[in-house]
Amino acid sequence: MHSIVLLSLLVLSYSASALQDDFCVADLTGADTPSGYVCKKVDDVTVDDFVFSGLGVPGNTTNIIKAAVTPAFVGQLPGTNGLGISAARLDLAPGGVVPLHTHPGGSELLIVIQGSICAGFISSSANAVYTKTLKKGDTMLFPQGLLHFQINAGGSNAVAFVSFSSPNPGLQITAFALFANSLPSALVEKVTFLDDYEVKKLKGVLGGTN
């Protein structure tokens, strides 16, 4: 009984402490830790810590995937620090694709504002696939940590705004993780069941070595 009371008092004490501050704007000169950045001194906080104008500008899609993601994460919007929220803009040129990837740190909510996007994710328990071609105004949710993708499903530019349940959701693109680094080809072949030719071809395309 005493331990339950003590635990309750600790929780209440922490909650009360957390409520004393309206926000914790990130001090980007420090390190980003699993619990976020340390707070700026209140006297150093300005309105610009809560404003980011970059999502109004199209991203550069002249790259191998014909896609661009413009983040409004804690690095661009320090006021998101500790608030469990961030945003991004996704631009997909015709033929553009965001390959299978995950966000280890947060769930994603995508809203299409222009064009059409084929999007989907794969469950981790049964490898069930959930895909949909989204039109302007459609919204799709991608649960935290699950493999998912977006593909331009039309002949014109597609644009979407995205929100995340984390100020820094992270990103790992599966193809880049396998073929854009120095992991030896022999090991990649074993873990992917691809032959030597395909592995080295993909490493060549994505800039990997070994």
Distances (CA, A) of 69 to 15, 112, 136, 144, 154: 35, 14, 18, 18, 18
Percent of the chain whose pLDDT exceeds 70: 90
112: amino acid identity, one letter = V
pLDDT at 209: 85
pLDDT at 210: 86
pLDDT at 9: 36
Q: Give one DSSP letter per residue of 109-137, joined into a string.
A: EEEEEES-EEEEEE-TTT--EEEEEE-TT
pLDDT at 183: 87
Question: Buried (b) or exposed (e) across 36-53, using 16+ Cβ within 10 A?
Answer: bbebbeeeebeeebeebe
Tokens of 6: 């003590």
Positive/negative CA dihedral, 83, 149, 143, 171:
negative
Q: What is the mean pLDDT of residues 13-39?
A: 76
Tokens of 66: 């014909």
